[in-house]
């Protein structure tokens, strides 16, 4: 349960971090679409840690498609794909077999299932997001043909905040290893990362995503408002802790007269405080939202753990950890957004 | 589509603001439960505007149950309920027939359905939340028998913030007309509301909700993490614009070592920065989250609208508007939380 | 659970036989459709017992719509409707409170829920099919505008079988109180019914349904083949015990070369042994299927029951019983078929 | 869409006949279960054609599990599995690229998706049932630990019918290459098959399935009655054309007093005409149902086809075809039954 996302465009994923593979099945992708496989590889590459700021990992991920395609075109049938896991030394994790790390999913998986794959985080590892990126990259290329673009960038790392989050330079962000749209802020972020790395600690941050070119009318009130399904999607990403649409938490401080977005004669609005939707339905303006991520809890410092008998013990960290994982979360946010928007797009077809 | 919420415990709702009634069908509620009808009426009463701060409305809402109950006990069959709408003068709304108000769902419903009930907001009116409160009040009383309590209070109105959001006095909040847990903050809120009312404007705010007594193991990774389904639920509430779990947006500023919640020997944690869940599964600690609400856009001032021909026009506001609707949103947040937790509770039964 | 039918066009129903009302919520019906309320009343009237062959009931059912409509047009929002139950003397059923009648749902509801509404069959009563007929009549009128017609008639009562089930005279059937397309067979059926009534017994039968004008391409392989969703729909009707598509059970006796439907140059087929679908997808030919119904088990004879303590006892039958309920099941079969086809039609829009 | 089956126990499948692989993802399987991999291989072997009566195929199918298991135990996370396809000479099928065979899914897939994998039936090939058998074998071994057994056998091939379908010798059937429970009938079936094979033709048949040891209370009224979900499951199997529960079509000929199953004092019934369920809920008796299969349409004779331009042409059959595919459909019927019953079992846990 809980391993499927979407109503008409549906992704079902599988895979533990140290199992044979991760992957998924995409159902409901329209037939006859010519797939750009290179774009999928690019998205997967953007998800990988960069050597500069994060622990390097092994060779690139390679996605293998098992079904749903013929001569590079979608058949309308389910698209299954598999990405093999690299060969880790799982024995490294033997010490963690009966140990629960703080603020990890160790104890909670144990409480839920009474059994758990303790190696590299198992199913709770961010490794699973590979499958989201493959499906999202497919969804995104379909949407691009419809004139929709989905951009995301890092607008905060730790206490360094991009000053202007309204005008985001996505070209600059794409070129930046930190996916930061502002060079000044990026410089400060680099310094903060270096300083934090020296202390063996980690950093969280905030991402802002903008969906442009989306026509008015997408989103299913009442419970499946566009903002609600986007929130669901984003908060399902590992380490996501906050979500806001448009002015978000700031809107709570505004007065009603200041919050309203006045109309233009062509039904666009002069401002976009509501982030591109009203009553859960897109209004044709940019869809804007932000997601907050907590820092990775595994640092270079020993973790105060508890074992299944209730003994408190300090465990030396093993395996990789990123100083700041937020930049490489960009394609994951884009992917989840693409899946939500494509699903809404397909649902809206039933109204035509 | 989009009018059903939940997997095993499911609420399907109906109703436009000026139609005959609003209501819903609850499916999946366990059989044999003795219903406390008084608690449902109480929850509905808490959802009503108070005369002090908000525009008074007509007589109290009365819920009529049509099925699923015998001698006050649930049968396991669907529980249908209806709450009649009061008799409004719908002619008041004739002027809005072909007019789209700014930051309302007028234009977007039009774009989606090419037809719209323009009277009192139609389906997009907060009137529909009556059905959520009925279902939520039922879910909540079931959970209470399981030792779960769900409290919520107002922690911000406009620029007035409750100073300590970690220790919330829910008894105080319950007694307060503003649902504020802090008497000092409440005084300031009252002043702000009075001042804003005098200007004919409105205010937004933030609500904090705490679910206590929830056992570890609830929530379905991967896409239906407890935080993701709570986010979905909360962001589906009219005017919700932001959501955060535990430290939320603040966690983005913390370092990994500061963010971790150290374990106690009994698997509780010394702090609760993660808000009661890891990997999307409850850990037995309090589940804590906040929701930001934008102010109501209909104020006492004329609204700059556009009609369906693209003519910009100023429309005098009609009907009621609350200076601050956040206090009476408390039972709605509680209700949605109760539905999410009960659904997770039922799903977890399949693991036993 | 289990009280919702459909994927995009969804009906959720409620109601016990002796509760206040039965009804439902229709979600996903396209917006802007002008409803023919008279057609709904007609369908409900066809579902009622006729005085000639069945126990007469009270005044006609009247459906009240609570939402989703304005000026007789659908809004795209959920359409809720309620049909009040007539005032029965529920005390008549007191003797059945702790008694399980043979081949009724008394014992199974008790086993499932440990509580049960024993009055008039409760939720298991065929009374619930009122809600199916309302939703189906709506679906049917939408389909008619698309050129689809759905006819059904009685092809067997007891041992009287309509001789030619390939060429069914639906005009004749519609005019016939027994919904029989063949006057000779009807005469025999009448005799059989009279004879059976005299013995205080009851009869089952078979219905054949034909959906015409359905374009090729409807149905979702692999698990939701058109034949599979039709089977699901039909076997969910009270007393349905068998289902077959096209040649059905007879196809098991045919050879492959005899079973094949040869193509014409316009992609129609010369025969229609497969009943209008291949691989679970409609082929543009008539969709033909049959449903077998067991006789009503409550007869004029005493029923050998068991009480909850395990005592065997004979219970005199109370309340109404039809000698043969199959003719009035016609609109229910049509309704379920209409819901399946409309759902498939909407799903197929996402491929366009 | 349509590639997922089940509510709590869910199978999502993928794969075209001549693609790289077929397989699936199982979600909702309970955690901590020790898997009997040998039983899965056995079920797959029973699905393979036997050399005696059917065209032999290549080496046995081998299932590879990619996730959801550790040390042979289920983790509660999704279980992904892949079965590679054998290397066919797909060029054999080039002649069928723009040709629609009669009573195949060629034309209907074309009408639905406007693109189609023409090689070996593509997604419409019975090859996909491999995934059903893997998932079903897992479901079945879980149910066996709960005391539930699921047996199926062939009760008709062509015009040869097993005389007594009430007392079925499943031990005999299991040992029989034709899965026939009666040695006399089997002899006649062999003769019929030989004769039909000599003519280059094919045969259909009927299978009867019995689920024993199932407790009372399973099944979700109203739309998801146990008989309805079984019907859905069975009619989704390639070539299934008819379904009946208990007395099925015969019940239409019975009188109500003859149809009733009288109770014993222990709530079992003296007869089982209703096939183990009332009101869609299991009653603790054997669940009995039958499924009719049409013969495979590809025979040794030329097929009268139509090409996409509307030209009628005769096409020589290629690839394999079974004289009678019904015996090897036994594990598929068992598998689908196991998935339905396990799903109902898990759903019923929420009532406890």
The pLDDT tens digits for B8-29 are 999 999 999 999 999 999 999 9
| Closest CB to C114 among B4, B21, B31 | B31
Q: Do A350 and C346 touch (CB under 8 A)?
A: yes
- Report the pLDDT value the prediction gives residue B55, as an integer from 0 to 100: 55
Q: What is the pLDDT of residues A162-177, one digit of tens each?
A: 999 999 999 999 999 9
C303-307, strands of its sheet edge to edge:
C99-100, C303-307, C312-315
| Closest CB to C16 among B74, B77, B115 | B77
Average pLDDT, chain C: 94
Q: Which residue of C has its CA nearest to A76?
A: C351
Please check whether residue B340 is in contact with residue B280, taking contact to mean a CB–CB distance below 8 angstroms: no
Q: Chains meeting A at 3+ CB pairs closer than 8 A?
A: B, C, D
> Model's pTM, two decimal places?
0.97
* Residue tagged 């989606």 (tokens): B112
Which residue in B170, B194, B193, B192 sits closest to B182, CA to CA? Answer: B170
Dist. CA C27–CA C285, nearest whole Å: 29
Q: Is residue D90 pLDDT above 80, yes or no? A: no
Alpha carbon dihedral B294, B296, B298, B300, in 10-degree steps, equals -110
Please check whether residue D146 is in contact with residue D129, taking contact to mean a CB–CB distance below 8 angstroms: no
Which residue in B233, B189, B236 sits closest to B211, CA to CA? Answer: B233
Task: Assess D25–C contact: CB distance below 8 Å, yes or no.
Answer: no
For residue B167, give every residue at least 6 positions away whose Cβ sits within 8 Å of its Cβ, in sequence order, or none: none
Lowest-pLDDT choice from A231-235, C224-228, D316-320: D316-320
> Residue D70, preceding bond cis, omega within 30 degrees?
no
Share of chain A above pLDDT 70, in %: 95
Please check whether residue C131 is in contact with residue C339, taking contact to mean a CB–CB distance below 8 angstroms: no
Dist. CA B244–CA B165, nearest whole Å: 13
Give the 3-state secondary structure percentages of chain B, helix then strand then coil, rounded to 5: 35, 25, 45
User: Which residues on neighbouring strands pair with residue C99, listed in sequence order?
Assistant: C307
Q: What is the mean pLDDT of residues C95-103?
A: 90
Q: What is the pLDDT of residues D193-231, one digit of tens each?
A: 999 999 999 999 999 999 999 999 999 999 999 999 999
- Report the pLDDT value the prediction gives residue A321, as an integer from 0 to 100: 72
Q: Is residue D92 pLDDT above 80, yes or no? A: no
- Report the pLDDT value the prediction gives residue C317, as an integer from 0 to 100: 79
Q: Is residue A90 pLDDT above 80, yes or no? A: no
Dist. CA B190–CA B173, nearest whole Å: 14
Share of chain D above pLDDT 90, in %: 85
From chain C, the residues in CB contact with A75 under 8 A are none
Q: Do B3 and C66 touch (CB under 8 A)?
A: no
Task: Assess D177–B contact: CB distance below 8 Å, yes or no.
Answer: no
Q: Which residue has the higher pLDDT, D110 or D86?
A: D110
- pLDDT tier at D306 (50, 70, 90 boundaries)? very high
Lowest-pLDDT choice from A21-25, A315-319, B100-104, C210-214: A315-319
Min distance C330 CA to chain D CA atoms (Å): 15
| ipTM for the complex shown | 0.97
Q: Is residue D318 pLDDT above 60, yes or no? A: yes
Q: Is residue A316 pLDDT above 90, yes or no? A: no
- pLDDT tier at C89 (50, 70, 90 boundaries)? confident
- Report the pLDDT value the prediction gives residue D97, as an integer from 0 to 100: 87
- Report the pLDDT value the prediction gives residue B93, as an integer from 0 to 100: 78
Q: Is residue D56 pLDDT above 70, yes or no? A: no
Q: What is the mean pLDDT of residues A269-295?
A: 98
Q: Do B66 and C21 touch (CB under 8 A)?
A: yes
From chain B, the residues in CB contact with C117 under 8 A are 70, 75, 77
Lowest-pLDDT choice from A308-317, B308-317, D41-50, D140-149: D41-50
- Report the pLDDT value the prediction gives residue A57, as an integer from 0 to 100: 55
Min distance B341 CA to chain D CA atoms (Å): 14
Cα C72 → chain centroid: 26
Q: Do B201 and A123 touch (CB under 8 A)?
A: no
Average pLDDT, chain D: 94
Q: Is residue A318 pLDDT above 90, yes or no? A: no
From chain C, the residues in CB contact with D343 under 8 A are none
Beta-carbon-side half-sphere exposure of residue C69 (alpha carbons within 13 Å): 18
Dist. CA C255–CA D159, nearest whole Å: 10
- Report the pLDDT value the prediction gives residue A95, as an integer from 0 to 100: 80
Q: Is residue A123 pLDDT above 70, yes or no? A: yes
Q: What is the mean pLDDT of residues B309-330?
A: 88
Q: Is residue B51 pLDDT above 60, yes or no? A: no
| CA-based R_g, chain B, Å | 21
Q: Is C221 exposed, middle or buried (0-12, 13-18, 19+ CB in 10 A)?
A: buried
From chain A, the residues in CB contact with C348 under 8 A are none
- Report the pLDDT value the prediction gives residue C68, as an integer from 0 to 100: 98
- pLDDT tier at D21 (50, 70, 90 boundaries)? very high
| Closest CB to D80 among A15, A32, A77 | A15
| Closest CB to D14 among A8, A16, A67 | A67
Distance (Å) of CA D126 to CA D42, D102, D240, D296:
18, 17, 11, 11
- Report the pLDDT value the prediction gives residue C234, as an integer from 0 to 100: 98
Nearest 5 degrees, angle CA C147-CA C150-CA C156?
Answer: 155
Q: Which residue of C has its CA nearest to A344?
A: C350
Which residue in C83, C94, C28 sits closest to C57, CA to CA? Answer: C83
């Amino acid at each position: 349960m809980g391993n499927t996302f979407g109503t008409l465009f549906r992704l079902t994923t599988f895979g533990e971090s140290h199992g044979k593979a991760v992957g998924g099945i995409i159902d409901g992708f329209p037939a006859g679409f010519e797939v750009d496989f290179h774009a999928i590889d690019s998205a997967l590459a953007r998800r990988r840690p960069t050597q500069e700021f994060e622990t390097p990992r092994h060779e690139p991920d390679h996605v293998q498609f098992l079904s749903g395609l013929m001569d590079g075109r979608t058949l309308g049938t389910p698209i299954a794909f598999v990405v093999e896991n690299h060969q880790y030394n799982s024995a490294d994790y033997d010490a963690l077999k009966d140990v629960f790390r703080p603020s990890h999913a160790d104890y909670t998986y144990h409480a839920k299932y009474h059994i758990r794959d303790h190696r590299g985080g198992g199913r709770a590892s961010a490794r699973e997001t590979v499958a989201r990126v493959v499906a999202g990259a497919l969804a995104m290329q379909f949407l691009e043909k419809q004139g929709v673009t989905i951009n995301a960038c890092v607008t905060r790392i730790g206490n360094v905040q991009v000053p202007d989050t309204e005008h985001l330079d996505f070209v600059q962000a794409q070129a930046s290893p930190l996916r930061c749209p502002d060079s000044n802020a990026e410089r400060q972020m680099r310094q903060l990362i270096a300083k934090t790395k020296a202390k063996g600690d980690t950093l969280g941050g905030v991402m802002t995503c903008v969906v442009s070119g989306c026509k008015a009318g997408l989103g299913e009130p009442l419970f499946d408002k566009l903002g609600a399904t986007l929130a669901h999607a984003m908060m399902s990403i590992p380490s996501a802790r906050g979500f806001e649409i448009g002015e978000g938490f700031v809107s709570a401080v505004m007065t009603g007269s200041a919050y309203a977005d006045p109309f233009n004669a062509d039904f666009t609005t002069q401002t976009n405080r509501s982030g591109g939707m009203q009553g859960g339905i897109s209004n044709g303006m940019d869809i804007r939202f932000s997601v907050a991520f907590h820092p990775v809890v595994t640092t270079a410092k020993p973790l105060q753990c508890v074992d299944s008998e209730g003994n408190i013990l300090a465990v030396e960290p093993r395996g990789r950890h990123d100083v700041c994982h937020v930049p490489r979360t960009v394609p994951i946010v884009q992917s989840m957004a693409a899946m939500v928007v494509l699903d809404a797009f397909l649902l809206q077809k039933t109204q035509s």
